[in-house]
Amino acid sequence: MRPDTIAEAVLAREDVARFLEGSHGLTSAAARSKVMSYLEELQTTQRYELYRALEYPLYPILRKIDRVAENQQVAVDAVKKGRVAYASNHRSHLDYLVEPLVLDDAGIRPPIIAAGINLFGGPLGLIHKHVTGALPIRRNMKDPAYLITLKAYVSELLHKHDLFFYPEGGRSYSGELKVVKSGLINACLDAQVPGLKLLPVAVAYDLVLEDHVIAKQRVKRAQKAFSREIAELVRYAVGYRSRAFVTFGKPIALDSIDGENKKAVMELTRHVRHELGKLYKVLPTAVLAAAMTKSSTKAELASRIDGLLDTLRAADGNMSVSTAAEVLDAATEPLVTRNIIVVEGGRYRVRERNVLRYYARSLAHLLTPPSSMH
């Protein structure tokens, strides 16, 4: 496929053609200039034969992560039947590497990945643009020319490729599962690809590589240079080991959903968030973090953990542990090594409160009554 065929299809679309006639206070020439520059930015090339080779430069980090796939047969079956748009929660910069490799492990054709434009600087940017075929997304962009072009581009892209995107937008800085945004979901509906399925995917880590960095901020205030973020990742990779659970959910048929009906789109976004919450793996580190107080004996902690596990089971959480003993056995050493808690004289104490809360909040969607959730 020539790389410009999607761009040609975008320009031929009725909504884009109407915008190019002059709209939103722009002359026809100014509107065309904007759309063409955004189209050039969005064009991407996927070279599948180079895809696996990405593991090698990133091997020092990736070898420290054990990938655990759950229900991947759902994705295997879905791609056999037609186009798929994967919608995942977003925990770490490693998501972009781990989740596509899980698909590849299962022999599933690689999707185009929608990634924040900040990831497109320097050498990694060239890899995203010319190997993985990542799609650069300008988040929180209000320019009508961009929004119209992006929606049209993604809609046309879905006729040729599967798509993998993060409907929360950026990574969760608080640790919580964020509200799902409708932007790219709208583009999927607008594509009107017969049989297109939206497939929820949840990713969870025992330890998130950049936990100390993002937990300090809680809310993202300014975009750091990605080169600086990479340097931080490498720093926190010393002694790092984790499992990454990638869990696939039941495909959601989009054929019957009217993208022009705002209520229907809102219901779909809520449904996607609900599904992601149910798929998200409940891991020992998060349970221990949620049970911790400033200072606790092991027995006090075990009692609180048992209560939490009952609540999480009642909320139909995707459990990885069933007893307090399992949680304490699996989570104590990693959190101590990561310098998040300290265990002295039989007491568990908090060392990095913000980081501990970051892990605890990853279960908030299961521990909060639905009526008070977003």
Proportion of the chain above pLDDT 70, given as a percent: 84
The pLDDT assigned to 68 comes to 97
| pLDDT for 138 | 84
Q: Which residue has the higher pLDDT, 137 or 229?
A: 137
Lowest mean pLDDT among 8-12, 76-80, 247-251: 8-12
Residue ranges per domain, the chain?
46-279, 282-372
CATH class of 282-372: mainly alpha
CATH 3.40.1130.10 fits 46-279, yes or no: yes
Residue, of 312 and 14, whose pLDDT is higher: 312
Interior/surface letters 225-259, b for 16+ CB within 10 angstroms, e for the rest: ebeebeebbeebeeebebbbbbbbbebbebeebeb
Mean pLDDT (the chain) is 86
Confidence (pTM)? 0.88
State which of 11-20, 58-67, 80-89 shows the largest mean pLDDT: 80-89
What is the separation of C-alpha 173 from the centre of its chain, rounded to a whole number of angstroms?
A: 12
pLDDT in tens, 157-182: 899 899 999 999 888 999 999 999 98
The pLDDT confidence band at residue 21, using thresholds 50, 70 and 90, is: confident
**Tell me, what's the pLDDT at 298?**
96
Burial of 211 (0-12, 13-18, 19+ CB in 10 A): buried
Give the tens place of pLDDT for each residue, 333-372.
999 999 999 999 989 999 999 999 999 999 999 998 554 4
Residues 135, 86: Cα–Cα separation, whole Å: 14
Asked if domains 46-279 and 282-372 share a fold, the reply is no
